[in-house]
Chains A and B, each alone.
Chain A
């Protein structure tokens, strides 16, 4: 619903922001019109979130100006932004987990009765708002007990409670099912009809085309183009976003699968908060094929991956590699059995950031010869291996003694990939292997995974990016609420079918 007026509600002029070592925003100018959905499209690290954080007062820009309804407006902190009617739903929710919905919503905009909080009145106001916009939520529920979809509603309610005129949504769809995404779009339309203007940050092309009134594309901190969703194709957008011709499909030959090499039988993982996080899951991966596990974040994929790779105890079921049952919760035994694991969170699990690359390259094998003998480390042997891997996997680093934390995200992931895939492996478990990486690194990692498949490994890819799953996999298993709802042939399935499965409906 676009009502054109002469002055935009929000405008930035030549915003520049540098962080040590990176130019996050370079002379960025955008306009937001009254009542429109403006999509800000770009790869990870393109500077979208930085720009929004500047508008929201979380960062100070180095130079450039912000105008509200044509007037220059100096936003020094979120307080100023809120006062100006700007609300933001952050990618990582800004909710206090132990607070109730009510407390979270009123925090910072408390309804008072004399010196005391007036929870009764606040509750009423919240219920009114949630009725008006169809955002059903129990004000007295404790936030940490709520599913992410509902938490997002709380975030939107938080903004509405503050009477926003401009709403910034930062990657709001990452945690939602395709159906929930539709609901969110409904809410967004509802909001724009009542006069709210929305900035929608995303890197997903299809969503942009569906919901946006206008698209601004950012790359490497700069605005590289503007598009009308009715006049561009996904392909055009992708090229603009990346800055060169990209193929949206991974170049791979037909799989030639052999016997079953990795098998999970009846796996059960309990979660103290959620009950059964993994609910009697069974599947098998054959040597020479890629099995993708699709699903919306938070449907048990993390728990499944952790249980399979020994990071977490499971309450039932077994994991088999090459016909041998593996002991539970024992990552080392799995490594010895030939498993490689590219973990979901490379900073938490994959690397010890303070260690030099040398130690990180032998993180899982430091106890073996030649890296150590009788419990005493052999630093020379470790260095030799590190230097060889740096060359072979094209890790861009000045030396093997650099701390892992000093490398870029893409190079860090390469270190992990090099470490895991340079071993003699029969099973590869890659969990969100390309999250947060630039297109170049993504292509490299995809190629490496396919190469391993062709060399005869059983490859399991877990990803919440449907495009990644569809382009890498030979077969696709869909996870919903801790269960595998179906396993389909990647060549025959459609995005729509997968979407339905991800929402739990079995065809």
Chain B
């Protein structure tokens, strides 16, 4: 890994996941402590945390794949929304959850391809490209959605044998529906891909200095296309999670800003899969606690808890707690001359 190297004692490079990790440790400590006092509530809060975190995690991974390759994606929200819709419709039509899941991922991938064409081939402003996707998704889902459709159900939890019996950890981590497992798996796989494989090294090079990559015989365009499509598929999974696993049904504009929180999560995690996963869990926890606090009679208006991810992101991009640096070539189309 490039980050995390001490250099001549001159520049300290903190690992990308350092600040989220600190938060993570605090969270675990608090969780263990409260579990000893009140097991069932803690379990509920932790499970809710995971439920909130999964779409953010997948959305952030989408952002990481795109941006590490140099494509800014603010269309995650739209990718999630449209995928949630197609996954839902497939579920309505076929009743086959696996097909529905694939439909969601495929929709995301297609929108990823659309963004890639916009940014790579047409060389448009990528922020406008993302905005097009967002408005388009609202329009299409709203136009084709009809109230009163029913499905045969949603994904249920899969118990992972003896692992599910571990106190606290078992029910929270090892008794989940499939997309949740996929999300965690994708975090780990993505981390390995980015920092320990040829594809990852080349992708990062393309996002930092595409011309350098080009002079070494790396196909910049192909790398960007594939990563944006993979990212789109992950955003599609996030959407599918909402309609197939989380809510179980579709509502107009149901993503409700999650795509933008995912962006926040990505930045907070410094464009690093594990860092972002931790950040997603942190934001998930804030959301989960909000419901719990209300039960406990502590009345912090939920809107204030809702603001936390956004406020934290502003703090992070402003460099108030450790600067996070985006890939250098991000947002600029590559010209072969």
Chain A interfacial positions (CB closer than 8 Å to B): 56, 58-59, 77-83, 88, 90, 94-100, 103-104, 106-110, 112, 115-117, 140-142, 145, 158, 273
Contacts and interface: CB of A to CB of B under 8 A. Distances in A.
Contacts of B152: none
B217 A108 contact: yes
A99 B216 contact: no
A487 to B, nearest CB: 31
Interface string B298-337: 0000000000000000000000000001001000000011
B26 interface: no
25 contacts: A58-B214, A58-B215, A59-B337, A78-B214, A78-B217, A81-B217, A83-B217, A90-B215, A94-B216, A96-B205, A96-B213, A97-B209, A99-B208, A103-B201, A107-B212, A108-B218, A109-B216, A116-B196, A116-B197, A117-B196, A117-B197, A140-B5, A141-B8, A142-B7, A142-B13
Given A95-B212, A96-B209, A142 B5 contact: yes
B209 A145 contact: no
Q: Which of B205, B211, B218 has the most CB of A within 10 A?
A: B205
Contacts of B196: 116-117
Interface string B261-290: 000000000000000000000000000000
A112 B337 CA distance: 32
Given A78-B215, A94-B215, A96-B209, 12 more contacts: A56-B215, A58-B215, A94-B211, A98-B208, A99-B2, A100-B2, A106-B201, A110-B201, A141-B7, A142-B11, A145-B8, A158-B216
Contacts of A79: 217
B12 to A, nearest CB: 12
A58 B337 contact: yes
A145 B217 CA distance: 25
Nearest to A118: B196
A260 B56 CA distance: 65
B214 A107 contact: no
Q: Which of B2, B8, B192 has the most CB of A within 10 A?
A: B2
Contact of A82 (B204, B209, B217, B337): B217
B328 A82 contact: no
Q: Which of B202, B209, B213, B325 has the most CB of A within 10 A?
A: B209
Interface residues of B, number: 29
Contacts of B13: 142
A56 B215 CA distance: 8
B198 interface: yes
A81 B10 CA distance: 38
A110 B198 contact: yes
B319 to A, nearest CB: 13
B208 A96 contact: yes
Interface string B178-219: 000000000000001000111001101100110111111110
Contacts of A81: 217
Given A97-B328, A145-B11, A115 B197 contact: yes
Contact of A98 (B2, B8, B202, B213): B2
A78 B216 contact: yes
A92 to B, nearest CB: 9
Nearest to A94: B212
B7 A112 contact: no
Given A59-B337, A94-B211, A99-B205, A107 B218 contact: yes
Nearest to A83: B217
B203 to A, nearest CB: 11
Interface in B94-151: none
Contacts of B214: 58, 78
A117 B201 contact: yes
A103 B203 CA distance: 12
A231 B11 CA distance: 51
A81 B217 CA distance: 8
A80 B214 CA distance: 12
A24 to B, nearest CB: 11
Contacts of A82: 216-217
A116 B204 CA distance: 15
A335 to B, nearest CB: 32
A306 B8 CA distance: 28
Nearest to A102: B2
A331 B204 CA distance: 39
A116 B336 CA distance: 30
A142 B208 CA distance: 14
B211 A98 contact: no
Contacts of A103: 2, 201
A166 to B, nearest CB: 15
A100 B5 contact: yes
Contacts of A108: 202, 213, 216-218
B2 to A, nearest CB: 6
A200 to B, nearest CB: 18
10 residue pairs, one from A and one from B, having the closest CB atoms: A108-B216, A79-B217, A94-B212, A96-B209, A78-B217, A110-B198, A94-B215, A96-B208, A116-B196, A82-B217
A97 B10 CA distance: 16
Contacts of A77: 217
A82 B211 CA distance: 15
Contacts of B202: 107-108
A97 B5 contact: no
A145 B7 contact: yes
A81 B328 CA distance: 27
Given A59-B337, A98-B208, A140-B5, A145 B201 contact: no
B197 A95 contact: no
A310 B2 CA distance: 36
Q: Which of A79, A98, A104, A116 has the most CB of B within 10 A?
A: A98
A102 B102 CA distance: 39
Interface in B1-58: 2, 5, 7-8, 10-11, 13
B2 A107 contact: no
B161 to A, nearest CB: 28
Contacts of A110: 198, 201
Contacts of B5: 100, 140, 142
B215 A97 contact: no
